[in-house]
Amino acid sequence: MFHQEIHSDLAPKAIGPYSQGIKVGDFVYLSGMLPVNPETGLIESSDIKEQTQQVFNNILAVLSSLGCDLSHVVKTTVYMKDLSMFNDMNEVYAMFFEKPYPARSCVEVARLPKDALVEIECFVIDTVRYERQSQGCGGCGGGCNDGCCEDGCCE
């Protein structure tokens, strides 16, 4: 099976033997993102809203390395240290998605790495090349490769 490692220097480095994400075909699996500042390697806030914001900053950095955004996310799993903070986490979470919202699971766990309050993993479908094709690229019938025409007929 062919798979590609996904990596962004703008997101925190993995703190173990795993990748920030793996792409197989059009499917992308992002590892759980912690609220770690990629510049310092630290969790800089003990506030659930601020931690959730940092998690999404990290998710966006990894998605951006693919040319994707949050509209490509089809499923998330949210891990929380304390579900009594759910409403505050959910308030920030809701700022990042539009309908149709991705499917989601949310579970309380005993502990997260680095004592984070929240961790979010994502399942993504990379449809960027199909989106390009639907915007006029790929319809010329002459040498199109991966959604962009080699001979410039779709430009």
Distances, alpha carbon 69 to alpha carbons 30, 66, 124, 128, 152, in Å: 13, 8, 9, 10, 26
154 found inside a domain: no
25 found inside a domain: yes
pLDDT number for residue 155? 43
88 found inside a domain: yes
155 found inside a domain: no
* Nearest in space to 107 (alpha carbons), one of 55, 50, 44, 32: 32
79 found inside a domain: yes
CA distance 12 to 10: 7
> Which one of 68, 106, 144, 154 is the catalytic residue?
106
CA distance 21 to 19: 5
The DSSP line for 41-105 is TEE----HHHHHHHHHHHHHHHHHTTT--GGGEEEEEEEES-GGGHHHHHHHHHTT--SSPPEEE
- Which residue's entry shows tokens 């986490």? 89
**What pLDDT, in 10s, does the model give residues 50-91?**
999 999 999 999 999 999 999 999 999 999 999 999 999 999
pLDDT number for residue 142? 41
pLDDT number for residue 1? 65
Number of domains in the chain: 1
CA distance 53 to 39: 16
Domain range enclosing 145: 4-149
90 found inside a domain: yes
Q: What is the mean pLDDT of each run of 10 residues along the chain (155 residues)?
A: 90 91 95 97 97 98 94 97 98 97 98 97 90 63 47 45
84 found inside a domain: yes
* Nearest in space to 66 (alpha carbons), one of 149, 17, 131: 131
Q: Is 106 a catalytic residue?
A: yes
The CATH number assigned to the domain holding 11 equals 3.30.1330.40
pLDDT number for residue 128? 83
83 found inside a domain: yes
For residue 108, the surrounding DSSP H or E stretch is strand 103-108
* Nearest in space to 72 (alpha carbons), one of 133, 125, 134: 125
pLDDT number for residue 153? 42
